[in-house]
Structure 1
Amino acid sequence: MTGRPAYPSDLSDARWALIAPRLTAWRQARTDAGVGGRKPSYDLREIFNAILYVNRTGIAWRYLPHDFPPWPTVYHYFTAWTNDGIFTQLNYDLTGLVRTQAGREATPTAGVIDTQSVKTSGNVPLHTQGVDAGKKIVGRKRGIVTDTLGLLLAVIVTTAAASDNTTGIDLLDQAKATHPDPAKTWVDAGFKNRVIEHGAALGIDVEVVTKDPQIRGFSVVKRRWVVERTIGWIMQHRRLARDYEALPGNSASMIHIAMIDNLAKRATGENTPTWRDT
């Protein structure tokens, strides 16, 4: 760490200790393979802090404060870690740790699926956008799978025009590939027979959970509230209030980063001060 004043989004020593091994091993592997050219001159912790700053505040890369490493360097690491699956791996590692701390098995056996359509910014290529006719949103659709604690198991970002069926099938495949034990998944009524049949082929019982028609207004729906709460968690990171990323893969990484931030704080018992705190 440098001697600069800390930002609220910065990693504590305890949280950095959870993340550092994966990042240092990645850098060492590239060095051993002769990738990356000259010797790196920037601290990995400061680079990750800069990425967290962008994720939490929602600023453009070019607006990074000058006491961080240069924005092109930070963005280079962000894209490299996205392409090499580092954010996905960190999320996997921390999910297992938090589940173990909660007295659960490291590998989940059940999940909850939901989607969210969000508007896109002006820099997003048109061919990666679409129209969600039901919600009347032009943009992209995020599909996520969580465990019963609300921890992220899989994520996919598509055009908003993609059906829940198509998204759900891809999410089941991704979740099964990463976590081979899931036997049960809950979804809402937007997911139809194709998802149920595909889940059965994978050995996953997909149950459609609907709201009680006798209840008017808001009501807590069995199991589905868990994934909806997770969507609320990631929306606290302003970069995710709208989709600003040119590539869908970068959008998925921003979701992983928001959950890595959440998981690391859970594992260390920390939190981030907000305007609500006294």
Structure 2
Amino acid sequence: MKNSPQRKAYPSDLSDARWALVEPVLTAWRTERQKTSLGLGGRVSDLREVMNAILYVNRTGIAWRYLPHGFPPHTTVFAHFSAWTADGTIERLGVRLHHLVREKEGRSAEPTACVIDAQSIKTAPSVPTATQGIDAAKKIVGRKRSIVVDTLGLLLLVTVTAAGVSDNDAGKQLLTQLATTHPTITKAWVDTGYKTQAVEHGAELGIDVDVVPRNTQVKGFSVVPRRWVVERSFGWIMMHRRLARDYETRPEHSESMIRLAMISNLAKRATGESTITWHNP
């Protein structure tokens, strides 16, 4: 199904090729949903338009209620976003695309090494104070995004916490998840914020955590071996304006917004497209 004939396409819309990659996951979600709905009424939403609307919010940074009228109602779109977050649909979609891209790059679907890093970000006034904290080192009041990427820079795991949570604590949580969801990983590179506790926890899990320090002899910006990969991933994520600040009431919604930014990247890489190649300006 193509974009609604009532509106022109936005650059953030899924092309037919990218929708073909996304559609099986969302159709499977709807099929499972209908099994428990007892066939009761209610309008059936166009899943492609719902996803296009979510990607529009993710890319432009607007509030849900400011969605253009050509999309489904913002309440419908947000309800799908919440449901897909709660039941892991967005996460499963990211895994599916991650495997496709790795195989296209000539790699095995599951990686054997990763890079871990964190980013503290300011929050919007609407974010509950109970989910915020202070990153004393960076003087930021807000939340902390801790991510794990493979050596291609593709997202594996993400957790969003209060900014006051230490890198070591967030790192141990991610390493525990890694051992379960990506058991093939035996190597991880981190910065000096993950010394001792994360390294020891990784060793207990069979993951060699290697601390890669910045060269203190170099002033200003410098490329740090291995760690530059995850820094680039943060750059990809920050191109999505919804992530320039944390606007989400719930941390798990913040995690979904990060996954969606990477899903947009992965879908383009899997199809060999960019916005310019498929969208007629």
TM-score by length of 2: 0.95
Q: CA deviation at 1:100?
A: 0.3
User: Structure 1, residues 3-62: CA drift from partner, whole Å, max 9, x if none?
Assistant: 121000000000000000000001001101227842542100000000000000000000
CA distance, structure 1, for counterparts of residue 218 and residue 203 of structure 2: 31
CA distance, structure 2, for counterparts of residue 40 and residue 222 of structure 1: 52
When residues 36 and 256 of structure 1 are mapped into structure 2, their CA distance, relative to the original with a 3 A threshold, is farther
- Which one of 89, 107, 112 corresponds to residue 110 of structure 2? 107
CA distance, structure 1, for counterparts of residue 251 and residue 38 of structure 2: 26
**Structure 2 partner of 1:31:** 34
- SS class of match (2:118): strand
Q: Are 2:243 and 1:240 aligned?
A: yes
Q: Are 2:23 and 1:20 aligned?
A: yes
CA distance, structure 2, for counterparts of residue 24 and residue 40 of structure 1: 16
User: Structure 1, residues 139-183: CA drift from partner, whole Å, max 9, x if none?
Assistant: 000000000000000000000000000010111122222211100
CA distance, structure 2, for counterparts of residue 5 and residue 237 of structure 1: 21
When residues 272 and 190 of structure 1 are mapped into structure 2, their CA distance, relative to the original with a 3 A threshold, is same
CA distance, structure 2, for counterparts of residue 99 and residue 119 of structure 1: 33
Q: Could you list the runs of 5+ residues in structure 1 that have no partner in the other structure?
A: none
- Which one of 107, 117, 122 corresponds to residue 119 of structure 1? 122
Once the two structures are superposed, the pairs formed by residues 142-153 of structure 1 within 5 Å of their partners are 142-153=145-156
CA distance, structure 1, for counterparts of residue 26 and residue 264 of structure 2: 15
CA distance, structure 1, for counterparts of residue 241 and residue 33 of structure 2: 32
CA distance, structure 1, for counterparts of residue 194 and residue 170 of structure 2: 9
Once the two structures are superposed, the pairs formed by residues 1-278 of structure 1 within 5 Å of their partners are 1-3=3-5, 4-34=7-37, 37-273=40-276
Q: Could you list the runs of 5+ residues in structure 2 that have no partner in the other structure?
A: none
- SS class of match (2:161): strand
CA distance, structure 1, for counterparts of residue 158 and residue 39 of structure 2: 29
CA distance, structure 1, for counterparts of residue 251 and residue 89 of structure 2: 16
- SS class of match (1:117): strand
The 8 Å contact of residues 110 and 184 in structure 1, kept in 2 or not, is answered as yes
CA distance, structure 2, for counterparts of residue 40 and residue 80 of structure 1: 16
Q: Which segment drifts farther, 174-183 or 78-87?
A: 174-183
The 8 Å contact of residues 195 and 206 in structure 1, kept in 2 or not, is answered as yes
> Sequence identity, in percent?
63
CA distance, structure 1, for counterparts of residue 219 and residue 105 of structure 2: 35
Aligned residues: 274
The 8 Å contact of residues 118 and 139 in structure 1, kept in 2 or not, is answered as yes
CA distance, structure 2, for counterparts of residue 11 and residue 36 of structure 1: 29
- SS class of match (1:167): helix
CA distance, structure 2, for counterparts of residue 188 and residue 160 of structure 1: 17
The 8 Å contact of residues 30 and 36 in structure 1, kept in 2 or not, is answered as no
Aligned-CA RMSD value: 1.3
Amino acid in the other structure paired with 1:14: A
TM-score by length of 1: 0.96
Amino acid in the other structure paired with 1:115: A
The 8 Å contact of residues 115 and 141 in structure 1, kept in 2 or not, is answered as yes
Q: Which segment drifts farther, 236-245 or 190-199?
A: 190-199
- SS class of match (2:267): helix
